[in-house]
Amino acid sequence: MEVSPNVLTYKGNFTEPSTEYLHLTNSSSQPLAFKVKTTAPKLYCVRPNASIIGPNESIKISLILQGFTQPLPKDYKCKDKFLIVSLPCPDLADPAKVSEQWSALESKYADQLLQKKLRVNFVIDDDETNESQANETTFANATSSAGFGGAGAAAASGFSSNANDTANRTIDGNGAAAADTTKEAFPSVGGGAAAADDAQQKELEASNQKINNLSDKLDSNEKSAAGTGTSTGTATEDTVSGVSLPFAAVLVLIAVLLGWYIL
């Protein structure tokens, strides 16, 4: 059984899974069953870890290193090892039964058992980490140059301020225009109020004039009643020039109330 390479070398920061390959070659004239063992079975995943290799045939084995939770220090020394064990299996043709029949093969062909030890080497490579940091730096620079940094925030603030000022000026202009329009639409509101006051004043003066006229008529009727007899006095008390005294009193009261309400 030939095994290649002699040393398994893993490179990277080891925070993610990494795979190396092992090549086994059967240089004998009979089929060989093999098993791959490791000192760190929880750290490595071997596919396949047991199988059969025909005469003058080769097989490629994947050795998957699981990622660590944190990057390894540069001075880390790996002490992991692999052991490849092979035995003749002339009567076994099913690779899936190698693990099941391994004890029987080991007992029967113990004198033909072959072993090969492999050492594991870790190369701490920061290139991937540096590349990731470089990508982050490039993205940050691109973001800053695109205006998303402090200058971009200031520009955005200035734009917002200008937009607000423009909106305020627009609102003020529209408000002034609306006020002017209102003035044009209702130019004589004050004049209308003055005209109403003049009309009320005229109505009041007319009412006072009517009251004075009624008072003069009442005085004239009283004098006429004093010159006539008692018989005509009763008729005079009821009517004054065709206007009854109660009706005249009501008119006077209405005029007074109207004048008080207007004033």
pLDDT, the chain, mean:
74
Return the pLDDT at 42. Answer: 94
pLDDT at 172 over 90: no
DSSP H helices in 48-126: 98-108
3-state secondary structure at position 163: helix
In percent, how much of the chain has pLDDT > 70?
Answer: 56
Max mean pLDDT among 41-45, 130-134, 256-260 falls in: 41-45
3-state secondary structure at position 246: helix
Q: Can you give the C-alpha Rg of the chain in angstroms?
A: 61
> Which of 118, 115, 128 minimizes the C-alpha distance to 9?
118
Contact (CB, 8 A) for 43 and 58: no
pLDDT at 77 over 70: yes
Contact (CB, 8 A) for 22 and 59: no
Tell me the residue ranges of DSSP E strands in 89-215: 114-124
Residue 123's DSSP bridge partners are 11
> In the structure encoding, which two tokens stand for residue 80, read together?
């992991």
pLDDT at 235 over 50: no
Q: Average pLDDT for residues 110-131, to the nearest whole number?
A: 83
pLDDT at 56 over 90: yes
Residue 111 to residue 30: CA distance in whole angstroms: 15
Instruction: Please tell me the total number of residues recorded for the chain in this structure.
Output: 263
> Which of 125, 52, 121 minimizes the C-alpha distance to 89?
52
Return the pLDDT at 176. Answer: 45
Return the pLDDT at 183. Answer: 46
How far apart, in Å, do the first and last CA atoms of the chain sit? 130
Q: Average pLDDT for residues 233-250, to the nearest whole number?
A: 59
Return the pLDDT at 22. Answer: 96
Residue 80 to residue 41: CA distance in whole angstroms: 10
pLDDT at 87 over 80: yes
Residue 138 to residue 135: CA distance in whole angstroms: 5
| Residue position matching structure tokens 């009320």 | 200
Task: Work out the burial of residue 210: count CB atoms within 10 Å of its CB; fewer than 13 is exposed, 13-18 middle, 19 or more buried.
Answer: middle
Residue 115 to residue 85: CA distance in whole angstroms: 5
230-238 and 189-227 helices, crossing angle to 10°: 170
In percent, how much of the chain has pLDDT > 90?
Answer: 45
Query: Which amino acid type is present at position 204?
Result: L
96: Cα within 13 Å, side-chain hemisphere: 0
Q: Provide CATH code, domain 2-125.
A: 2.60.40.10
